[in-house]
Structure 1
Amino acid sequence: MSAYLRLRAVPPPALRNSSTWLERLFDDASETVRHYRDQERIYAGACPNPLARDRPGTHVVLGGRPVFRADRRKPPLLVLTAAQARRVSGFLAAADFDTLWDFARDAVLPHYGGATAEPETWGAFAAAHQELKAFYTHTAECGDAVVKWVPED
């Protein structure tokens, strides 16, 4: 699954359990839209404690509580609580990107030109990892929740 992910940090008291309200968070054309195509492959299966129930690595890109939209054919919006966002931030702060890359490279590289394109592909994924890390660090420092929109293809 490839994802183009849009993220928004939201103070928990402002959150609404309404897909219409959550969709409006993304209406502002001036927002920075973050595109993380295939980034979820970097974090799939990555967890410092494999016995942990709430694996923060799985929440980085595609995790969260689904809020279903009126049109059920569209993918749901995803919401991470402030506590989950803090755990994701901690996971990303402790994660070694090269280790994550080594785990995922065989699944990722065929989609981006194979081994000959590895330096550029590694660079793009490393940059996206740093952006996600910065986003979640700032979000955790503010005590915010995270709303995610994976737009339909």
Structure 2
Amino acid sequence: MSMYFHLRAVPPPALRNSAAWMQRLFEDDGDAVRERVGRHREKVLDRYYLDHELLYAGTPPHHAAPGPHAQVVLGGRPVFHPDPHKPPFLLLSAARTARVASYLSAADFDVLWQRARVPLTVGAEATAPRIRAMLAEVHSDLTAFYTTAAGHGDAVVKWLVLQGLADRR
């Protein structure tokens, strides 16, 4: 089973508070997603999305207080999937999206990196400079994604996509 974390910008007038509607947001084929990612309308984080979460929100006992830094990856209001075996969707309003964009634009990556230098999931597979470079690239991509979404007044819907789950039941 593979998994990745998918973020998608949505204009508020198009947004529906329905898990079925949100699921349809993530049913596009890979080519359509790659095209939107290229225009900063979507962002996909690979299986190391929890490492990106650590970069912004920290880890216990030094977990960050609530705020835009804690909304970057896993933050948002949950909208529960009708299938209890699937994770909930996470929704950031347009206002929260703008706060996250402002936070990311002002964040100093070197400070984030120094605070997050704990054993990360990718640590067993890569050297510290490679891990740092990967996280820096994703930080830049997330900043561009949220800045573009905020500039359009968009909300953001997020979902942990689990591929192969249906095949395992």
| Fold match by TM threshold 0.5 | yes
Pair 1:8 & 2:8 matched:
yes
Q: Which residue of 1 aligns with 2:71?
A: 59
For the 8 Å contact 1:85–1:140, the answer to whether it is kept is: yes
Pair 1:113 & 2:147 matched:
no
Match of 1:31 among 22, 30, 33: 33
Describe the SS at the equivalent of 1:137: helix
Sort the Cα spacing of 1:136 and 1:24 in 2 relative to 1 into closer, same or farther, 3 A. Answer: same
For the 8 Å contact 1:12–1:82, the answer to whether it is kept is: yes
Match of 1:88 among 100, 113, 116: 100
Calculate the aligned-residue CA RMSD, in Å.
2.3
Pair 1:44 & 2:46 matched:
no
State the alpha-carbon separation in 2 of the partners of residues 113 and 96 from structure 1. Answer: 26
Note the alpha carbon deviations across 1:44-79, whole angstroms, 9 max, x for none. Answer: 149xxxx97x51000000000000011112110000
For the 8 Å contact 1:79–1:148, the answer to whether it is kept is: yes
Amino acid at match of 2:52: Q
Structure 1 ranges of 4+ moved more than 3 A:
none
Note the alpha carbon deviations across 1:126-149, whole angstroms, 9 max, x for none. Answer: 000000000000000000000001
State the alpha-carbon separation in 1 of the partners of residues 72 and 127 from structure 2. Answer: 25
Note the alpha carbon deviations across 1:82-103, whole angstroms, 9 max, x for none. Answer: 0000000000001001100100
For 1:95-106, list aligned pairs within 5 A.
Answer: 95-106=107-118
State the alpha-carbon separation in 2 of the partners of residues 152 and 55 from structure 1. Answer: 27
State the alpha-carbon separation in 1 of the partners of residues 56 and 94 from structure 2. Answer: 20
Whichever structure has more strand as a proportion of its residues is: 2
Q: Which residue of 1 aligns with 2:160?
A: 150
Note the alpha carbon deviations across 1:6-52, whole angstroms, 9 max, x for none. Answer: 01100001111111111111112111361242210100149xxxx97
Amino acid at match of 2:124: G
Structure 1 stretches of 5 or more lacking a match? none
Alignment length, in residue pairs?
A: 145
For the 8 Å contact 1:45–1:57, the answer to whether it is kept is: no
Q: Please, what TM-score do these two structures have when normalized by structure 2?
A: 0.78
Amino acid at match of 1:35: L
State the alpha-carbon separation in 2 of the partners of residues 62 and 142 from structure 1. Answer: 22
